[in-house]
Amino acid sequence: MKKSIKIFAPATVANLCCGFDVLGCCLDNVGDEMIISLTSEPGVKITKIDGANLPMETHKNVAGVSVEALLKKYGKEIGVEIEIYKKIKAGSGIGSSAASSAGAVWAVNYLLENPFTAHELVAFAMEGEKLASGNAHADNVAPALLGSFTLVRSYNPLDVVRLNAPSDLVMTVIHPQIEVKTSDSRSVIKQNVKLKDAVQQWGNVGGLVAGLLTEDYELIGRSLEDVIIEPLRSILIPEFKAVKEAAILKGALGCGISGSGPSIFALSKGEVTANLVAEAMQEIYSKTGLDFDIHVSKINSQGVRIMK
């Protein structure tokens, strides 16, 4: 017995400025590939990792622990083999660990003929995030599994809401080739927040959600603001301020840190603006001497998908 599928496991942008640990969205043309197989020998095995130096031991691998969490709940002895072809670099801030975790549980669920809903898969994939960063945040795995934009309304109990996105939104992401570990980037955040900052932040979260649902691009732009996390984390990212100013000048609706960084994202209305933003980002980074990648992507409304 060997049933296999090849999947695309998308990159994601978490936080979206105001929504630390609660908002995220799914990219369309940036992501990993994985081949997942059911086998007759029970147990989860990582049989290949290409493109990254990551642990092959199941209990140390984010895809491995996520699938083990799924199988524990499924309750039957199943054999799973996982091949991972990494295209998203670890520590990039565009959901590298989330892609592996979400892709693996989505594919195993598919091969088992969908015993779990996509919403239920989020909890299994969060086990991978817990292993990767010490914190089971869902703002990358939820959009990877559900597509579009997602809001984690509550962690306990887990309540994830998928939000439709206006069709003209396009994401530009610059990824400086320096690794910022999510655990390190979380350690610079203060545990206490001033009430006046909290008021501004939750106003923006509400504004962003309303803007997405009513396709109000200007409201989306006004709401892409982070008064709590960005001031602390942006110091870890070379040229953050210059990139943000240039993106806004070129017409981006908003710009901020992608997840825990070092990637910087900008959301624009339409591909023309998103490409102008990409050029402006490139111009700034070309002068730093640092290597970088730039992606321009539509929002992926589907999430993980099967590849032919």
Q: How far is the CB of 94 from ligand HSE (least distance, A)?
A: 8
Q: How far is the CB of 272 from ligand HSE (least distance, A)?
A: 29
* Beta-strand runs (E) in 97-194: 149-155, 158-163, 169-176
Beta bridge partners of 171: 267, 297
Q: How far is the CB of 90 from ligand HSE (least distance, A)?
A: 11
Cβ pair 227, 201 in contact under 8 A: yes
Tell me the catalytic residues: 129, 182
Q: How far is the CB of 252 from ligand HSE (least distance, A)?
A: 20
Distance CA 145, CA 199 (A): 30
> Which residue has the CB atom at the shortest distance from ligand HSE?
259
* Interface positions with ligand HSE (CB under 6 A): 14-15, 20-21, 93, 137, 139-140, 182, 185-186, 259-260
Q: Burial of 167 by CB count in 10 Å (0-12 exposed, 13-18 middle, 19+ buried)?
A: exposed
What stretch of H or E contains 268? strand 264-269
Q: How far is the CB of 93 from ligand HSE (least distance, A)?
A: 6
Distance CA 302, CA 308 (A): 16
Cβ pair 78, 71 in contact under 8 A: yes
Contacts of 261 (CB under 8 A, 6+ apart): 93, 180, 185, 233, 234, 236, 237
Token duo for residue 46: 């990582």
Whose CA is closest to 259, among 138, 164, 152? Answer: 138
Distance CA 264, CA 277 (A): 11
Token duo for residue 233: 């984390």
Q: Is the peptide bond before 157 cis (omega within 30 degrees of 0)?
A: yes
Q: Burial of 213 by CB count in 10 Å (0-12 exposed, 13-18 middle, 19+ buried)?
A: middle
Smaller CB separation from ligand HSE, 83 or 139: 139
Q: How far is the CB of 137 from ligand HSE (least distance, A)?
A: 5
Distance CA 93, CA 176 (A): 10
